[in-house]
């Protein structure tokens, strides 16, 4: 963000000397005869303000692109307007032969900023995430897939074990023109690390006697299993109790991931019989990787299990509420009741 630095550098540049335009000396501070266009201009010109740009840099860019008639005209407008501190780096859609005042106003208009806005929901796996990015940006799917094949270039935390699954953080992103697939995926990994810092992932995992990677796996299971925030800590307690007692997790979302199905898709007998690393009705322990990208709330839920001895849960209402118990027979009764009521 240019902010105050922009204005300080702008005023400093103006104070040092007058500006020479077309062989004519003009005093930008006095608002003298700086060459300027009239009106809002016409046509199109894409202008980039880069991080750290000074007033002179911006004016040079505008002049080079044919947006303004002179550097001095832009100086005069910006120096007299405190909103100059609001100018931000980015790409902007301007017009040719604009008055300096019109160009300045358009640079402050969020609608003029050229960005691709992409929202990646929670609970999507890498394959789904890459498709969402490709569908909502100018970057081809093949580029995203190639970037994902080189996770070492994306700035993953050491505890990610070189695995991208689970670390493309779900959020809304603004993709600047000229961004590469590697740029976008790196931004998503950085956003994950911000969320991990916020919830205290590494410290919390240590308190639980787990690795941060284990917690991300648990959070991904929670993300795919329940819809309500107040149930996240309950599901994580079920998972930890089962791990401690050597009981298979029995989480079908993991099985679905292992056979290439989305969570919620019906599992066939053939699916359940497959011996994948994510089969967890017979195998004990956590899946080898996350199965989706968890959000901040599920990371927090994985770090803050409720107290108790609950071992079972089942979908109980059509709005996504679950029934939790430590009694297997109570679990079976609720399961049969939910089926009879068409809950699943």
Does the predicted TM-score (pTM) go above 0.75?
no
Judge whether residue 87 has pLDDT over 70: yes
pLDDT at 33: 66
| CA angle, 312 then 318 then 322, to 5° | 20
Tokens of 54: 């000074």
Structural domains in the chain, CATH included, are: 3-112 (no CATH), 116-197 (3.30.1490), 209-340 (no CATH)
Whether 80 contacts 44, CB under 8 Å: no
Q: How far is it, in rounded angstroms, from Cα 250 to Cα 287?
A: 11
| CA angle, 27 then 32 then 37, to 5° | 115
- Report the 10 Å Cβ neighbour count for 228: 11
Judge whether residue 313 has pLDDT over 70: yes
Q: How far is it, in rounded angstroms, from Cα 19 to Cα 26?
A: 5
- Under the banding of pLDDT at 50, 70 and 90, the label for residue 17 is very low
Lowest-confidence pick of 139-143, 201-205, 259-263? 259-263
Judge whether residue 23 has pLDDT over 80: no
Judge whether residue 229 has pLDDT over 90: yes
Whether 45 contacts 64, CB under 8 Å: no
Lowest-confidence pick of 34-38, 217-221, 264-268? 264-268
pLDDT at 293: 97
């Amino acid at each position: 963000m240019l902010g105050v630095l922009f204005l300080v550098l702008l005023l400093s540049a103006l104070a040092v000397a007058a500006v020479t335009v077309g062989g004519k000396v003009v005093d930008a501070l006095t608002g003298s005869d700086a060459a300027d266009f009239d009106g809002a201009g016409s046509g199109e010109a894409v202008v980039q303000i880069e991080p750290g740009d000074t007033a002179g840099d911006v004016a040079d860019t505008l002049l080079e692109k044919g947006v303004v008639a002179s550097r001095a005209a832009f100086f005069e407008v910006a120096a007299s307007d405190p909103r100059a501190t609001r100018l931000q780096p980015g790409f902007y859609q301007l017009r040719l032969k604009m008055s300096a005042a019109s160009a300045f106003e358009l640079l402050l208009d969020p609608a003029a900023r050229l960005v691709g806005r992409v929202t990646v929901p929670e609970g999507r796996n890498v394959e789904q995430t890459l498709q969402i990015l490709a569908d909502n940006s100018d970057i081809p799917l093949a580029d995203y897939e190639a970037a994902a094949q080189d996770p070492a270039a994306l700035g993953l935390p050491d505890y990610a074990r070189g695995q991208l699954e689970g670390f493309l953080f779900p959020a809304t992103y603004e993709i600047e023109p000229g961004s590469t697939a590697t740029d976008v995926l790196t931004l998503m990994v950085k956003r994950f690390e911000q969320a991990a810092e916020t919830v205290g992932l590494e410290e919390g995992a240590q308190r639980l006697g787990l690795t941060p990677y284990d917690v991300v796996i648990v959070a991904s299971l929670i993300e795919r299993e329940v819809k309500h925030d107040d149930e996240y800590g309950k599901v994580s307690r079920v998972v930890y109790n089962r791990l401690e007692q050597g009981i298979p997790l029995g989480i079908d979302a993991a099985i679905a991931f292992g056979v290439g199905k989305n969570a919620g898709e019906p599992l066939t007998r053939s699916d359940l019989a497959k011996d994948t690393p994510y089969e967890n009705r017979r195998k004990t322990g956590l899946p080898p990787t996350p199965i989706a990208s968890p959000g901040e709330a599920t990371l927090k839920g994985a770090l803050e299990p409720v107290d108790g001895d609950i071992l079972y849960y089942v979908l109980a209402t059509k709005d996504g509420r679950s029934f939790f118990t430590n009694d297997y027979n109570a679990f079976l009764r609720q399961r049969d009741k939910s089926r009879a009521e068409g809950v699943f």
